[in-house]
Structures are given as C-alpha cells and as structure tokens.
Structure 1
Amino acid sequence: MNFENEFKAKKVIVTGACGIIGGWIVDAFAREGAEVCLTDRDAEKLEAKLATLPGTGHVAIAADLTDTGSMTAFAEQVSGSWGAPDILVNNAGIYPSGFLLDISIDDWDDIMGVNLRAPFLLSQLFAKQMISAGKPGSIVNISSGAARKMRTTVVPYCTSKTALDRLTKGFALELAEYGIRVNAVEPGFISGSDVSTLAQDHIDTVTASIPLGRTSSAQDVAAAVLYVTSVGGAYMTGATLTVDGGNSIGSQVVFQAKKKAL
C-alpha cells in the first residue's frame, strides 16, 4: 500500500510500543516517515526499540497506564517537549486469564485500567492538545474480536474490549466537530507475547480454526492502522476495521463424518 509520504513528519503516539502489535505499528509509521513517540512501562526496552527505528524525531517516554498521575505527566511531557500529536494509537492491553469465580478484583481492575481506562484518559488528554493546536487528528483504539465473542477464562478481557468499542463510537461522535476521527482496529490472532504466553497446542488449535489458515502478521495489522489514519480513510469515524483472517465470523469445526465440501 502506497501512502505517498502523507505520514512524513506527522507526530504519532503509540502505547504498548514494546509489545508485538505495538512494535509492528511503530515500525510501520517510522518507515512512512512519521515521528513516533513510543510509550510503555519499561524504559530500557523503550530505548532499545527506539534505537532500531529509521528516520529522526522519534522519542521514547516511559509511562504507567494504570496510574493517572503517570499518564497526565506523560501527556504534559509530550506537549512541552514534542508537541501535540496528529495520531494517537491506544494499543496497550493486557490479557490475563482466569475463571470469573477465581480472578481477583485486583486483576479485574488492572485489566479495566489498561484496556479501557487508559484509552479514555489518553484520548481525552491528547484530543484536547489536538484541538488547541488546530490539528484534525486521528485516534485508533486496538480492539479485538473478543469484543463480540465471549471466551471462557478471559471474560474480563472480552468485557473491556466491548466497552472500548463503545468508547470509540462515543469519542467519534463528540470529537467529529473538531475534525478528529476515532476508529478501532481488530487485529487477528498472534501466537502470544512477553506479557501473555500461550501453549503451543492452543496456538495450533486456534490457527487451524481460522478460515484463512494463519496467524496475523505485521503487514496485516500495520496496514489497517495506517489506512484508517490516512487520507484514504478520511470518511471513517466510529468504525471498527476487523483484520483477523475471518477468525471472528464463526467456527469451521465440522461435526459430520464428511469433512470436505467436495
């Protein structure tokens, strides 16, 4: 996909920049000539990721997305030393598992804090900066097919993503008058991360059930995020773009003896 340098010198913030999906998004914007602000909890990992990026103007700022003061300080630091963003990508998310009868209230609060509360507060803070700077910006929330399909042992995660989709539409309504578009992207299945490890048999089972027969790639996710923030996606707001190989549309499990259509 050719964006004809439209992201050159655009300022892009990506949360969860050290994760797999966050890293893919950061790399894609940097390759397109954007100036990227990376944020995550681990300052050392941020600096290591920053050192791999092509181009100039990138910054790395550690922030704790479970802490209001840390997020507010992060937004103030961005405004003071880097300037109002053109694009905010709320990518950070956590995926701890546990049955509802077992999961602790602290785990519940952490999931809602990172997956829902942080996108709310950061969208609020950075939208105000965009408005003050007169920038017709774009906000992208990284959602999941779990927003529409409940899954045993990850009900809190599913709940957080369903709420994030509603938050996306709410911000889209209220920010439209300022020229700020707000959309969500639902990436496909990836085979775990440093934060959420997955057993190989689980990876194999899920992959086998995906209609297009493979896990998500960097190109899949990055292209979707770039598109919804590009001129090509200029008439999109309050939308959710699903890029998951068909994983969320239904199951391909066949119960009859006949396993093939032909």
Structure 2
Amino acid sequence: MHFEDQFIGKKVVITGAAGIFGTWIAQAFAAQGAKLCLSDIRGNELRAMAEDPLLSDTELLFHTSDLTQETSIVELAALVEKEWSSADILINNAGIYQRHHLMEMSAQAWNHSIGVNVTAPFLLTQLLAKQMIKDGKPGSIINISSGAALSNQIGGGHYSTGKAALSMLTRSFALELAPYQIRVNAVAPGFAPGSEVSELSEDYVNNLLTQIPLGRTSGPQDAPTAILYLCSESASFITGSTLTVDGGRTAGTFKAPKLQAGKQA
C-alpha cells in the first residue's frame, strides 16, 4: 500500500516501542518519513533502538515510561508538549499478558494488568488529545487490541477483560473526539513469535499456531500496514472501528496441519 508523502514530518508517539510489534510499527512510520517519540519501560532496549538502521534517518525522542504510574504518563505527555506542542498520531501499543487463573490472581496482579492495558491508554489518549485540540489540528489514535477481546481462555481472563474494555474505550473516545476531527480506532494483530512479554511454553505456542487459517504467523508488515492505513487520508471516514489482522484466527474454529512462521503471502 502506498501512502505517498502523507506521513512526512508527522509526529508519532508509540508506547511499548521496544517490543516486537512496537519496533515494527516504529520502522513502518520511519520509512514514511515520520518523527517518533518512543516509550517503553525497558530503558536499555529502548535506547538501543537508536542503533536500528531502519530508524537511523529518523528524528527520535525517547521516554522510559512506567505506564502503571500516572506521574510517568504525565511526564511522557509533557515531553511531547515540550518538544512538539502536540502529536499527530498516538499508538497505544504497550500491553502485558501474564497467565493467571482468576481464582488465584491477586488484586495487585489484576490492577497491574488493567493499569497497563486499559488505564494507560485512557490517560495518554486524554492528555495527548487535549494537546491536539489546543493546537486545533486533526489527529489519529490507534489502540492495539487483540483477538482476546472476542475469545477468552483459562489463564487469560484478566487480559481478555482488559482488551474488551479497550475496544469500548476506543468507541467511546471516537464519539467524544469526532467533533475535533480526531479519529480513534483499534488494530487487533495476529500472533507473532516473541511478541509476548511473558514466556510461553513450546506446547502452548505450537497449539496456538495450528489455529491460524491463513497458514502463518504475523509478519513485520501486517499490523503496521493496517495501522498506517487507519492513520492515512484513505481512512478519513473511519473512526470507532477495530481492524483485525490475525490470519483468520478469530473467524471461527480451525486446526491447521502445519504453519510457516512469519512468511508473507
């Protein structure tokens, strides 16, 4: 998909930037000439992104953010305002998934999951949207959702609850920000090996891979291309929507004999 010069000089904030999806998203916007503010709690991995050859010609800002702390989120928003006045695009990509049975899950673990997956996107959207409104310019906000918002499993109830809440938060912000021409949408990427912060067992991963009808896992262009599209002028009449990019995994029950990880069609 060609976006011509639509993103040259656009100011893009990406949370969870040091993870696999965050890196792919950053590289995709950098290739289009955007300026990036990259946020992650993993400071060393975040700073190492400055050495990424695909980001070498890109204007970069970095912020080591603890998205469970409101003060850290406020600091990130303040950095954006100081350096840019306001962003053009916000990608709420940061998320955590640690397996917990609800009957054994502590309140602390629950609050941590909901804090990163729901409360942080709420606060950051609120703060950055206010900056956009102050500057009187349109904007685009993308929340990274998941098929877990539609399909639950034992050990992931807290995550599914958070992603389902994020879907409704997407719609709610879309309604409130529409008068300011700030569009809010979500993208639900498919499974990509290495995308989880928590370690997954080999059996779990192999079983998951058999459930993807199109026969491969998510590659570096899949979700980022969908995000670029939703932020582009081609999607100027789309807000409050979720675009699922998962190879058909959430379409229904499916078992594949074997898969080729990450290979593009």
Q: Shorter-chain TM-score: which interval?
A: over 0.9
Equivalent residue number for residue 20 of structure 2: 20
Is 2:97 aligned against 1:91?
Answer: no
Residue 157 (structure 2) aligns with: 155
**2:121 counterpart residue number:** 119
Residues matched between the structures, number: 254
In 1, Cα distance between the equivalents of 2:100 and 2:66? 23
Could you tell me which runs of 5 or more consecutive residues in structure 2 were left unpaired when the two chains were aligned.
257-265
- In 2, distance between residues paired with 1:21 and 1:96? 17
Q: CA deviation at 1:200?
A: 2.0
Aligned with 1:61: secondary structure? strand
What displacement does 1:147 show?
0.5
Say whether 1:5 aligns with 2:8: no
Q: Tell me, yes or no, if structure 1 residue 46 matches structure 2 residue 46.
A: yes
Alignment match of 1:143 (pick from 142, 145, 148): 145
1:122-176 CA-to-partner distances (Å, cap 9, x unmatched) read 0000000001111200000000011011111100000000000000000000000
Query: Within 1, Cα distance between the matches of 2:148 and 2:197?
Result: 18
Q: 2 CA distance for matches of 1:196 and 1:151?
A: 16
Answer with 1 or 2: which has the greater Rg. 1
Return the letter of the residue paired with 2:221: Q
CA distance in 1, matches of 2:245, 2:196: 22
TM-score for both structures, normalised by structure 2: 0.93
User: Cα–Cα, structure 1 residues 209 and 56, in superposed 2: closer, same or farther, change >3 Å?
Assistant: closer
Contact 2:97 2:196 (8 Å CA) reproduced? no
The whole-number CA distance in structure 2 between the counterparts of 1:224 and 1:81 is: 28
Matches of 2:15 and 2:4, distance apart in 1: 25
Secondary structure at the aligned position of 1:101 is classed as helix
Unaligned runs of 5+ in 1: 255-262
TM-score by length of 1: 0.94
Instruction: Give the residue type in structure 1 aligned to 2:249.
Output: N
SS of the equivalent of 1:138 reads: strand
Pairwise CA distance, 1:45: 1.5
8 Å contact from structure 1 (residues 50, 59) kept in 2: no
Deviations 1:66-124 (A, max 9, x none): 00011111111210123310000000000010111111111100000000000000000
1:64 and 2:66 are equivalent in the alignment: yes
Matched-pair contact (CA < 8 Å) for 1:208–1:214: no
For residue 172 of structure 2, the aligned residue among 157, 170, 173 is: 170
In the alignment, which residue of structure 2 is the partner of 1:259?
A: none
Moved more, 183-192 or 193-202: 193-202
Alpha-carbon distance in 2 for matches of 1:231, 1:181 = 11
- Matched position secondary structure for 1:248: helix
Q: Which residue of structure 2 lines up, in the alignment, with residue 244 of structure 1?
A: 246
Give me the whole-angstrom Cα distance separating, in 2, the residues matched to 1:214 and 1:102.
34
CA distance in 2, matches of 1:222, 1:56: 17
Residues 191 and 198 in structure 1, CA contact (< 8 A), matched pair in contact too: no
Q: Tell me which stretches of 4 or more aligned residues in structure 1 moved more than 3 Å.
A: none
Q: Does 1:227 align with 2:229?
A: yes
Say which is worse superposed, 46-55 or 218-227, in terms of deviation. Answer: 46-55
What CA RMSD, in Å, does the superposition of the two structures yield over aligned residues? 1.3
Moved more, 43-52 or 71-80: 43-52
Name the structure 2 match of 1:211: 213
